[in-house]
Amino acid sequence: MTSTSTPPGLTRFNTLEEHAAYTALREACASTTWAKRLLADRPYATCEDLYAASDAAMAELTAEDLDEAMAGHPPIGRPKPGDPASAREQSGMAGASDALKAEMLELNLAYQERFGHVFLICATGRTGEQMRDALRERIGNPPERERAIVRTELGKINRIRLARLVEED
């Protein structure tokens, strides 16, 4: 079922001045290529059209583009100071025990050593234990498998952030 009216947040995004829209997209995802692709495809008739464009752009990111996107994400358990998005998304770690936080730090460092980038997971709705378990499981992946998982997780994060951008007033 398709709605005939465009949500106010999507209308606002579609009509933002180009630099402001680009800035908003870069806050959702640090990839310049991804942001430029979504910007070029404006206006979007529906939120689903925007999400589909995001997914398509994500699928086409080069290894360098993916590195740029990942560089915008802080390690799990250490959200960027002053960044409400990463703090909200990682809220499952907020009440974690000191032991869990210490274990996540150790695992994050081992993961970064192995793969050369931050452990990326769509943390929204996950507990600290679930994130730790995913990290434990994924650290043994071959690099090419892990890269595919990272791309999928980043796509999920981008959709959540885009929804917040266009669906909220």
Q: Which residues are catalytic?
A: 73
Tell me if residue 134 falls in helix, strand or coil: helix
d(CA 32, CA 67): 11
Cα separation of 143 and 131, whole Å? 19
In the block, tokens 């951008």 appear at: 165
CA distance 77 to 80: 10
